[in-house]
Amino acid sequence: MKVTRAVVPSLFTVLNMFCGFMSIINSSEGSFHAAAWFIVLAAGFDALDGVMARLTKSTSDFGVEIDSLSDVVSFGAAPSFLVYMLSLHQLEGAGIFLSSLLMIFGGLRLARFNVNLVGHDKEFFVGLPIPVSAITVVLFVLSYYSPSSGLHEEAAAWLPWMTVILALLMVSKIKYETLPQISRRAVRENPVRFLFATAAVLVIAVTRGDAAFPLAVLFIFQGLVRSMVHGMKHALGLGPKNGGDDSSSPSRVDV
């Protein structure tokens, strides 16, 4: 069997999928913090497989497909099962339905991305990327769940609503900015985005992670605000006439 350089990024993709599986196992055992951290680890491998694909120049259709399949496991099924075992199981049938939305709508989000790969704006994603949805769930769990006292009462009340909102945002037409690449060219082309990203990292570091969930909510909210402003400009005839669909380029990137 011939081993090619395309194996390198695919190895990170497989590790991503494995972390999603480990998250599901830990959720089933009630180890919710460990389950959340395995999703974070999966996100790290998801980012690395794209980096390795570019470094080895081995981007391929196979890589895109296996990446999406891994994302369904790690950022769809794993967060769905996490919120179900954490709290939504108390709602019985309704809880099963609500928790499944993260997986189902995440799968729809990935399928839409895969059939619209070519010829789109690299600056924006259409709909909330599925890793962002999963990380928002993770930050919610790490912020409001304690192994000793369980999930805060107010957080438990908000969890069903957050699940529905994240699911709907994934299949929406709302635009979300892509994460800035760390390079001189990227900083030169969009210094404001790079400054905001750097500031967010510093705030999270200074607050020892306490600001992570509010910042994730802020990121989601700014997409909604941008969409409303764009809609108002379009209604008033102030926006560009040629809109077009904005998604990501056909490379192994977070979707």
Give the range of the structural domain holding residue 143, as residue numbers without chain letter.
7-115+129-173
Tell me how far apart the alpha carbons of residues 19 and 13 are, in angstroms, rounded to a whole number: 10
For 68, phi then psi, to 5°, come to -65, -40
Most confident of 5-14, 20-29, 40-49, 209-218: 20-29
Do the domain assignments include residue 134? yes
**C-alpha atoms less than 13 angstroms from C-alpha of 14 in its C-beta half-sphere:** 7
Confidence of residue 210 (pLDDT cuts 50, 70, 90): confident
Do the domain assignments include residue 93? yes
Amino acid making up residue 242: N
Percent of the chain residues past pLDDT 90, beyond the cut: 41
Tell me how far apart the alpha carbons of residues 187 and 79 are, in angstroms, rounded to a whole number: 33
| Number of domains forming the structure of the chain | 1
Do the domain assignments include residue 219? no
pLDDT at 36: 95
Q: How do residues 115-124 score in pLDDT, each as one tens digit?
A: 776 444 556 7
Do the domain assignments include residue 207? no
Task: Look at 242 and 88; give whichever has higher pLDDT.
Answer: 88
Do the domain assignments include residue 221? no
pLDDT at 16 over 90: yes
Q: Are 227 and 246 in contact (CB under 8 A)?
A: no
Q: How do residues 96-113 score in pLDDT, each as one tens digit?
A: 999 999 999 999 999 888
The pTM (predicted TM-score) of the whole model is 0.82
Do the domain assignments include residue 87? yes
- CA-based nearest residue to 81, from 46, 41, 36, 40: 36
Q: Are 170 and 128 in contact (CB under 8 A)?
A: yes
Confidence of residue 94 (pLDDT cuts 50, 70, 90): very high
Do the domain assignments include residue 60? yes
**What's the CATH number where 26 sits?**
1.20.120.1760
pLDDT at 123: 67
Q: Worst-scoring range by mean pLDDT, 57-71, 124-138, 180-194?
A: 180-194
Do the domain assignments include residue 140? yes
pLDDT at 1 over 60: no
Query: How many degrees, rounded to 5, is the angle at CA 155 between CA 151 and CA 157?
Result: 110
